[in-house]
């Protein structure tokens, strides 16, 4: 039987490519000289797509060129790089990679929080610049006694909260609704949470409902000693408002793993001493990225074995039925 034809618009890891090559006819779009002509040629046959945020957004325009598509397996738990509603409307299942990265992202978040408050990168730069013999590094703010507000107490938010419990800090959260069985204090709005917090950590999905959820009003409520940590998506924070708030002392500092226009970072942030900037590395360890890649492969294999995909996103869950694939 012919192998199902799969399209990979942008490169995933070698391990994923090797695994998909074994089981599918894998088309590597990024290696084509004329991608448009290639898509016109193979697009009508493609039944599966292995997507990453590097490929831009898989939207209706993409889907129009892939009329036989059955499944989009996206690399990452956030799937703002796929128009899942447009996919659902065409009967296309979308999968993401939840769960396998929760602890890794939570570890990184705690590291970023401590790095921001205790100015760890700045202290390292101070030593490397040979400035220590001339005097001590300036004293930093502290995590001690801080109240931490988590915007988005989902799988990763809870993993962050569990770690914070060991730091003896007060923990509160905001989401669209209060969660049963959660003892942390709930706030109905991000502004109310920020007003009751000294640190706000954003870890919600990026979508139209969360765009600029952290705006000027939230930053004003956080206050001059307050610190924002964003490990969610750049779109969740009004970046212009954040730059202004850091410049005029509305808040005290920020630790940012994500930005509105990645990989571009506002030059104003680069010049600030009270921010720590990371290149979207929340899940970026060898082991965790391998686990995420394996889940992309496993979703595609399950689907084309005639089983439901393993981790369909909510928008396409009802389409995800055993034997529902059309490839023959």
Residue among 118, 147, 280, 307 flagged as catalytic = 280
Tell which one of 20, 69, 77, 117 touches ligand 8YV (CB under 6 A). Answer: 77
Binding partner selected for residue 157 from ligand NAP, ligand 8YV, none, CB under the kind-specific 5 to 8 Å limit: ligand NAP
Cα–Cα separations (whole angstroms), residue 230 to 68, 76, 105, 131, 236: 38, 17, 12, 31, 8
Task: Check residue 77 for interaction with ligand NAP (CB under 6 A).
Answer: yes
Tell which one of 51, 221, 229, 232 touches ligand NAP (CB under 6 A). Answer: 232
Tell which one of 8, 9, 26, 53 touches ligand 8YV (CB under 6 A). Answer: 53
Q: What count of Cα atoms within 13 Å lies in the side-chain half-sphere of residue 283?
A: 18
What percent of the residues of the chain are helix, what percent strand, and what percent coil, each to the nearest 5?
A: 40, 15, 45
Identify residues 242-281 at the interface with ligand NAP (CB under 6 A).
257-258, 280
Tell which one of 9, 43, 205, 293 touches ligand NAP (CB under 6 A). Answer: 205
First to last CA, the chain: 8
Tell which one of 48, 78, 175, 255 touches ligand 8YV (CB under 6 A). Answer: 78
Identify whether 280 is a catalytic site residue.
yes
Closer CB to ligand NAP, residue 307 or residue 317? 317
**What does residue 191 show for φ and ψ, rounded to 5 degrees?**
-65, -45
How many whole angstroms separate alpha carbon 191 and alpha carbon 172? 13
**Distance in Å, CB of 152 to ligand 8YV, minimum:** 12
Identify whether 260 is a catalytic site residue.
no
Task: Check residue 75 for interaction with ligand 8YV (CB under 6 A).
Answer: yes
By C-alpha distance, which of 11, 36, 6, 10 is closest to 22? 6
Return the structure tokens found at 121: 């990168």
- Write down the residue that tokens 């226009």 correspond to: 261
Binding partner selected for residue 48 from ligand NAP, ligand 8YV, none, CB under the kind-specific 5 to 8 Å limit: none
Identify whether 188 is a catalytic site residue.
no
Contact 114, 236 (CB under 8 A): no
Task: Check residue 283 for interaction with ligand 8YV (CB under 6 A).
Answer: yes
**What does residue 227 show for φ and ψ, rounded to 5 degrees?**
-130, 135
Point out which span in 13-21, 83-91, 205-213, 243-251 binds ligand NAP (CB under 6 A). Answer: 205-213
Contact 213, 232 (CB under 8 A): no
Point out which span in 50-58, 121-129, 151-159, 191-199 binds ligand NAP (CB under 6 A). Answer: 151-159
* Chain residues that interact with ligand 8YV, rule: CB under 6 A: 52-53, 75-78, 101, 282-283
């Amino acid at each position: 039987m012919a192998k199902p034809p799969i399209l990979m618009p942008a490169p995933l890891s070698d391990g994923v490519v090797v695994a998909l090559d074994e089981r599918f006819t894998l088309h590597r779009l990024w290696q084509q000289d004329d991608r448009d002509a290639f898509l016109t040629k193979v697009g009508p046959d493609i039944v599966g797509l292995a997507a990453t945020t590097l490929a831009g957004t898989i939207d209706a325009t993409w889907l129009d060129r892939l009329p036989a598509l059955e499944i989009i397996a996206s690399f990452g738990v956030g799937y703002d790089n796929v128009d899942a509603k447009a996919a659902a409307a065409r009967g296309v299942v979308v999968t993401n990679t939840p769960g396998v990265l929760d602890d890794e992202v939570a570890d990184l978040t705690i590291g970023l929080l401590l790095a921001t408050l205790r100015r760890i990168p700045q202290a390292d730069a101070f030593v490397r610049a040979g400035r220590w013999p001339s005097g001590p590094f300036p004293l930093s703010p502290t995590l001690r006694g801080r109240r931490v507000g988590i915007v988005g107490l989902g799988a990763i938010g809870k993993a962050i909260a569990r770690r914070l419990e060991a730091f003896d800090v007060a923990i509160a959260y905001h989401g669209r609704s209060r969660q049963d069985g959660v003892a942390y204090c709930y706030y109905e709005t991000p502004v109310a949470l920020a007003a009751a917090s000294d640190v706000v950590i954003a870890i919600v999905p990026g979508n139209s409902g969360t765009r600029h959820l952290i705006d000027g009003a939230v930053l004003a409520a956080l206050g001059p000693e307050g610190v924002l940590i964003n490990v969610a998506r750049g779109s969740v924070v009004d970046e212009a408002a954040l730059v202004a708030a850091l410049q005029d002392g509305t808040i005290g500092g920020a630790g940012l793993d994500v930005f509105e226009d990645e990989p571009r970072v506002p030059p104003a942030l680069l010049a600030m001493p009270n921010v720590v900037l990371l290149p979207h590395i929340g899940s970026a360890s060898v082991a965790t990225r391998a686990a995420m890649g394996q889940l992309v492969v496993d979703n595609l294999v399950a689907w084309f074995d005639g089983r439901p995909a393993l981790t369909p996103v909510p928008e396409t869950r009802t389409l995800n039925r055993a034997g529902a694939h059309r490839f023959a």
